[in-house]
Every structure is written in C-alpha cells, then in structure tokens.
Amino acid sequence: MEGEQQYLFIDFEFTMPEGKMKPEGFYPEIIEVGFAAVINEKIIDQFSSFVLPVTFSELTGRCKNFLNISQEQVNSGMPFKELVGLLEKYDQKQPTTIVTWGNMDMKVLRQNCKGAGIEFPFRGKQIDLSMEYKRFFGDQNQTGLWKAVQAYGKEGTGKHHRALDDALTTFNIFKLVEKDKSYMKNHQPTTIGDRIDLSKVLDNFAL
C-alpha cells in the first residue's frame, strides 16, 4: 500500500465562548480529534482523542452542553503539539488528501498551529466535501453533514459532534457522492429522440 493515494477524513471539535461576546484574545481551540485513514475505499486506521486547549483551558458551559463533553475528558487529552506530530506522520507516510466537511477544521488547525508556533502538518490537497456536495447537487446553501447523509436515506455514524463519528460519517458521504459522480459520468442524459417514439409522432402527422 506504500505510495498509494491515502485519504484522511478528519473532524475536530473546538472550544467556544459562552455567548456572542468573545473574551479578549479568544480563538477556537481543538479539544477533540477523530480521523480515519483510507486507501482504496478501505479504512486502514482510525484515531480518536481529546486534546488539551492551551489559551483558554477552562471549557464554557455552552461548550460542554453543546458537545456533551466534560472538563475531565479534555484535561486527560493529548497535548496539541503531539496531535500535530501525529498528523504530520500520517501525511508524510504516503501521498495524502485531507477531506473535511466544511472549511473550519483546517482554518482552526492553521490558527492553532500559528498560535503554538508549530508548522502546519499537511502538504497535499485539501477537500471541503460540503462544497463538493453543494456544487454537485446545486444546493444554494451549504448543508450540514448529518442532514446531507440523511438526504441519501442513511443515518450518520454514532453521535453527531463526536469527532471520530463525524469523520466516519464524512467518509460514508464521500463514498456516496463519488458513486453518484461516477454514475453521472458514465450515463449520458437521454436525447429527445430517446424519450419520444418519433414513428408515432410522424404517424399522427400523416393522418
């Protein structure tokens, strides 16, 4: 498998302020990571962990309630620097494409790396699957991850807003979208001649 294209489906959960008024210097920090490494549509590895926030280490009530996460869970998480080292290891192992639902995950990772004085771990292509989905289906608005998967008549994996479950759900919808794209490519739309029996139309004119 070495040298083959690897897809890394990633989801992060972040800290959030209590209300609309952000404390001075506040920016979202990663507090949970989940990812699945995929080659040839097969999951070869997956990882899940809580991550220690640095700047605002105390979680707000809103954050704990929204993510159903406790301060104790986050306190037992891995240091951010260790997370970046792990992601870099996966990226360097073979050619890697990063897939996320929405652009926030990579934005926050970049911001957190900058804040910690650490180099961004990914060198390859990054795909925002929500935009691919929007373009493919012509939706005017970006669709939420679990709403998108339910549009296919499926359910998300595990619990929404748990990082690994959301990463696996992103992988599942990626497979569904790719299947649809492949179908559309291989099946040309029918022409008007295919849809209408022209001999019957001409017979009517002959009467």
Q: Which positions are catalytic?
A: 13, 161
* Cβ atoms 74, 52 nearer than 8 A: yes
For the stretch 85-93, contacts whose Cβ atoms lie closer than 8 Å and that sit 24 or more positions apart, written own/partner, are 85/121, 86/47, 87/8, 87/35, 87/121, 87/122, 88/121, 88/122, 90/6, 90/8, 90/35, 90/37, 91/8, 91/121, 91/122, 91/123, 91/124, 93/2, 93/6
The CA–CA distances, whole Å, from 135 to 42, 126, 141, 168, 181 equal 26, 16, 10, 22, 11
* Cβ atoms 52, 77 nearer than 8 A: yes
Q: Which residue has the tokens 């008007």?
A: 192
